[in-house]
């Protein structure tokens, strides 16, 4: 099983547990793709979470382009 992120997330186990909890049938042919996509998502999320933001920065109340 593949580990991702600093927390050694067991993505395959997480996929299996989420499918079970949601009572979502996951066809065995699709399982590797679901695991790969969740691993990619975890990698992207880690990059976002590691981005340094100054403490004095406040979230905008609304998005205005």
Q: What is the pLDDT along the chain (65 residues), one digit of tens a residue?
A: 444 444 678 999 999 999 999 999 999 999 999 999 999 999 999 999 999 988 888 887 887 78
Q: Where are the domains of the chain?
A: 3-49
For residues 42 and 5, the answer to whether their CB atoms sit within 8 Å is: yes
Long-range contacts of 42-49 (CB under 8 A, 24+ apart): 42/4, 42/5, 42/9, 42/11, 43/4, 43/5, 45/5, 46/5, 46/6
Q: Alpha-carbon dihedral of residues 51, 10, 15, 1, nearest 10 degrees?
A: 120
């Amino acid at each position: 099983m593949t580990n991702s992120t600093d927390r050694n997330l067991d993505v395959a186990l997480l996929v299996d547990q989420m499918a079970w909890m949601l009572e979502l049938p996951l066809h065995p042919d699709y399982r590797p793709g679901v695991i790969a996509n969740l691993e990619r998502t975890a990698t992207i999320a880690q990059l976002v979470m590691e981005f340094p933001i100054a403490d004095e920065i406040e979230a905008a109340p609304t998005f205005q382009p």
